[in-house]
Structure 1
Amino acid sequence: MGLLGCKPASTPMEVNVDLWRDNSPLLDDAGRYRRLIGKLIYLTVTRPDITFAVGVFSRFMHYIPREVHWTAALRILAYVKSCPGKGLLYKKHGHLHISAYSDAGYAGNIGDRKSTSEFYTFIGGNLVTWRSKK
């Protein structure tokens, strides 16, 4: 692919890119696009910051992808290059205990008086699910 020398990107996806009505040329090898998106889907396990962008580009896997889709998907790789230490690290802790924590605040924000709630689930000492909602 020759992407080692690519310029790092600050975001995984450009803003206001019209991926649906583009007249750019079709890709010669749609399988290459599908393989890249499949690898990026696998990467979202440890890099939740790219999940939205990968989800958007995965919508084009079953159609014939265009050059604009390929270029946009490569931007995710440039973003990952810009911050290699970002992401989740799973370690072996020698056990598979399940722990869950939750917290809630009733009208705790002085500005809008909205309640917040959150929960975290750990398996074997590793964070596997989380949610925070206002």
Structure 2
Amino acid sequence: MRPSARLLNQPLYKSSSHLPSHSLSIRQFDISNAFLHGNISEEVYMAQPPGFVDPSRPSHVCRLHCSIYGLKQTPHTWFQRLWDCLLLFGFMESKADASLFILHTHSTVALVLVYIDDIIVTGSTSDVNYALGLLKRTNMLDAKPCSTPMAANTQLVSDSTDLFADPSLNRQVVGALQYLMVTRPDLSFLVNNKVSQFVANPSNAHWAAVKRILRYVKHTPSLGITFTRSSSMQLYGFSDLDWASYHVDRRSHGGFYVFLGSNLISWSSTKHSTISRFSTEAKY
């Protein structure tokens, strides 16, 4: 049983036709290894895992205090742990949706929507900026801003003679840029089709290209996807192709954008997995 909680007297909105527009910012994140954070109240035992058997007591079993993947109780214990924490911070569970939590204060409102380990947060104030946080973690807050993310006609190639000294740092930053692409489609081509290809063995030139992208982020920290009211529900699609543009393997790059009314809802920029003999084949 969950502990008692005061619920909202009224649903958030009575009908979708009266949804107000507050220009709220949205943040999305997921919890790493979410199912390992739950606490188990029942007695659950398991055999000692292979490779971690106590040689002096090989026949003993382990009693679990925290949940692990594979248990039937695990999803419930994780949500219960999150539920308790949100209530501790003053959130209340919505009567309209059990996965929606709402915090009201005298000047702000915050909404938390939970789907297993994926969480969306929005509110009337915004104190978190992922782009600036990335620049701070990479010591690029004081870097000179750059108006373009990469110089024109830049070609990156594998280079085993001038390897970057800290490849794990390069992988972490490229991964962070991929996450930033959730709201920054302007980075899709460069991150997916350029710097991501060399994360296994990055050279100093590859790291310089990553830093150039970070300098561009420094120049445009508030740039991102916004959704506005639109009277049109027309679906529009745009696509483009750069045939055999990568001079190393002669593969093509393609991309598309899809709009619902005036709002961008889907986009992609990828390098083709096969070589096209002519532009019509690549477009197809």
Q: Which amino acid aligns with 2:162?
A: P
Q: Which amino acid aligns with 1:14?
A: A
Q: Hey, what does 2:259 align to over in structure 1?
A: 120
Q: Which amino acid aligns with 1:60?
A: F
Contact 1:120–1:130 (8 Å) recurs in 2: no
Q: Distance in 1 between matches of 2:267 and 2:178?
A: 19
Q: Hey, what does 1:17 align to over in structure 2?
A: 154
Relative to the length of structure 2, the TM-score reads 0.33
Say which of 185, 189, 194 aligns to 1:52.
189
Compute the RMSD of aligned alpha carbons: 3.2
- Equivalence map 1:41-120=2 (5 Å): 41-55=178-192, 56-62=194-200, 64-89=201-226, 100-102=233-235, 119-120=258-259
Gaps (5+ residues) in structure 1? 92-98, 105-117
- After TM superposition, the runs of 4+ consecutive aligned structure 1 residues lying more than 6 A away are none
Q: Distance in 2 between matches of 1:86 and 1:75?
A: 17
Task: Report SS of the residue matched to 1:59.
Answer: helix
Q: Tell which structure's C-alpha radius of gyration is larger.
A: 2
Task: Report SS of the residue matched to 1:38.
Answer: helix
Task: Report SS of the residue matched to 1:129.
Answer: strand
Q: Give, in angstroms, the shift of residue 24 of structure 1.
A: 5.9
Q: Hey, what does 2:176 align to over in structure 1?
A: 39
Q: Hey, what does 1:112 align to over in structure 2?
A: none
Identity percentage of aligned residues = 39
Q: Distance in 2 between matches of 1:127 and 1:80?
A: 20
Q: Distance in 2 between matches of 1:16 and 1:130?
A: 23
Q: Give, in angstroms, the shift of residue 17 of structure 1.
A: 2.7
Contact 1:44–1:50 (8 Å) recurs in 2: yes
Gaps (5+ residues) in structure 2? 1-137, 238-256, 269-284
Q: Distance in 2 between matches of 1:90 and 1:31?
A: 35
Say if 1:74 and 1:83 are closer, same or farther in 2 by CA, change over 3 A: same
Q: Give, in angstroms, the shift of residue 47 of structure 1.
A: 0.6
Q: Distance in 2 between matches of 1:73 and 1:8?
A: 13
Pairs aligned (count): 109
Contact 1:24–1:68 (8 Å) recurs in 2: no
Q: Distance in 2 between matches of 1:85 and 1:102?
A: 27
Q: Give, in angstroms, the shift of residue 70 of structure 1.
A: 0.5
Relative to the length of structure 1, the TM-score reads 0.66
Task: Report SS of the residue matched to 2:234.
Answer: strand
Q: Which amino acid aligns with 2:175?
A: G
Relative contact order: is structure 1 or structure 2 higher (C-alpha 8 Å, sep ≥ 6)? 1
